[in-house]
Amino acid sequence: MKLVKMSLLAATLIASSAFAIDNVKVSGDAQLMYSTSDRGDTTSNTIAGNSSGSLFDKDSSAADAGIHLGITADLAKNDLVSVSAGLSGTMLSTLGLENNLVSNVWGGAHTAEVSPGANYGNGAKVKNASWFNEAWVAISAGKSTAKLGRMELDTPLAFTETWSIEQNSFEAAVLMNQDIPDTTLVAAYIGNGNGNEVFGQNLQSNVDTLGLTAGAVVNGDGDFATYGTDGAYAIAAINNSWKPLTVQAWYYDVSKLAQAYWLQADLNIEGILVGAQYTGLTLDRKSGADGTESNALAVMAGYEMKDTFTVKAAFSQTDKDTAAGWNTATSTGQSKLYTEAKWVSGYGYVTAADTTAIKVAAMTPEALTWVKLGLCGTQTTNDTTNVDMMQVALDASKSFGPLDVELMYVYMDADNQNAGDAYNTVNAYLTLNF
């Protein structure tokens, strides 16, 4: 059954890729990412932490190379029980680019060897970073699967972010059951994470001394630390009894910090797309805001013509108490709300308290226009802080066999960035899949 994009491990745990037919499967990719911006200030939400304010200038640019390599295998399999395991690792390297073409790194897992805080072009040296981002064992019996270890997750309020060259992951235990027809039940415990800030607990000691501050996804050296203060629990039910409609409900208990829930329904009838999301958060202990409650509502409508185009429009509103709906696993502010911005410079605005947001998007497939094209615009207004944001992003991507090429242009205008002046960002991505 199709469980929509944010259905956690439903696809991961039961898909054939997790239980390779030939018993062992090796896969991965090599990536090179480059970003440049003419933003003059460097206070937040920027990849290029040291900036000259000019596009393509060394001090206004960041780059990184990464290799992601994974292996999965069936360890045991019979008519009653099957056991599988997976292991994957990430290695980030600057390739010395910070001493030549750019002055900043992309990935937050790098740490400085000497002269922390210095512009890389002025002598600071950057360590390469490597870590295991997945190491898990899964046991399946009947229609139940248990997965234990280090893994990526894709739940509404705790998920692996994929916009960067590095992805955060979790040390968790997940149980999934599909005995009820067209229904997936999920229970999970999340003990650790390597997101550079886990639910308000700043775990990063090195990234702030480097060129990449906000926008980092993974702790220095990829290190894992306790999720929140004592871990988190989550339960969920996902139902697809009526095939055009997928409904999901999630509840989270982040020990000693907060309780949260997420409700979502998505309808697709012959290309007509309609969706609704509602999320709520109650803080137990965070900045002294005991018992503070907040919520966010989002709706979406669109139309998808197969192999031709997709258009969508979305609206969201948060209440006045505190932010709600963001990824609790990192500090980027990214969310699963329909109105979320395209690029990291716009993360955190949609979920801020007392914010109204709208988003429009249009996409065409590679088969129709030779390159896959995407255009989206996000606008937020905030009546409490009077901080407004507008972001417009255009991206074009093309696959040449195993090589994926993507270019992105982002126009950003926010009252609290770059002294209120608009600025431009250009990103380039090369991914070789193997």
Parse the chain into domains and list their residue ranges.
Answer: 10-433
Distance in angstroms (rounded) separating the CA atoms of residues 284 and 340: 26
Q: SS3 of 48, please?
A: coil
Q: Residue 4: what pLDDT?
A: 35
pLDDT given at position 304: 97
**How high does pLDDT run on average in the chain?**
85
Q: What is the pLDDT of residue 167?
A: 95
Share of the chain above pLDDT 90, in %: 63
Report the pLDDT value the prediction gives residue 59, as an integer from 0 to 100. Answer: 85
Across 3-7, 301-305, 359-363, 383-387, least confident range: 3-7
pLDDT at 191 over 90: yes
DSSP-based three-state secondary structure for 366: helix
- Beta-carbon contacts of residue 329 (< 8 Å; ≥ 6 apart): 158, 159, 160, 161, 168, 170, 193, 195, 198, 199, 227
Among 43, 135, 11, smallest CA distance to 85 is for 135
Dihedral over alpha carbons 19, 142, 146, 324 (to 10 degrees): 100
Residues forming a β-bridge with 236: 186, 250
Fold of 10-433: Porin (2.40.160)
At 9 the pLDDT is 36
pLDDT attached to residue 49: 65
DSSP label of 279: E
Residue whose token pair is 């740490």: 111
**Which segment of 7-11, 78-82, 427-431 scores lowest on mean pLDDT?**
7-11
Report yes or no: 316 and 345 within 8 Å, Cβ to Cβ. Answer: no
Is the confidence at residue 419, as pLDDT, over 80? Answer: yes
pLDDT of residue 135 exceeding 50, the answer is: yes
d(CA 5, CA 11): 9
How confident is the model at residue 289, as a pLDDT? 53
The Cα–Cα gap between 245 and 274 comes to 9
Give me the pLDDT at residue 104, please: 84
What is the tens place of the pLDDT at every residue in 224-251?
A: 999 988 899 999 999 999 999 999 999 9
- Report pLDDT for 40: 83
Q: Model-level pTM greater than 0.85?
A: yes
Q: Which two tokens stand for residue 61?
A: 């640019």
What backbone torsions phi and psi does residue 59 show, to the nearest 5 degrees?
-75, -10
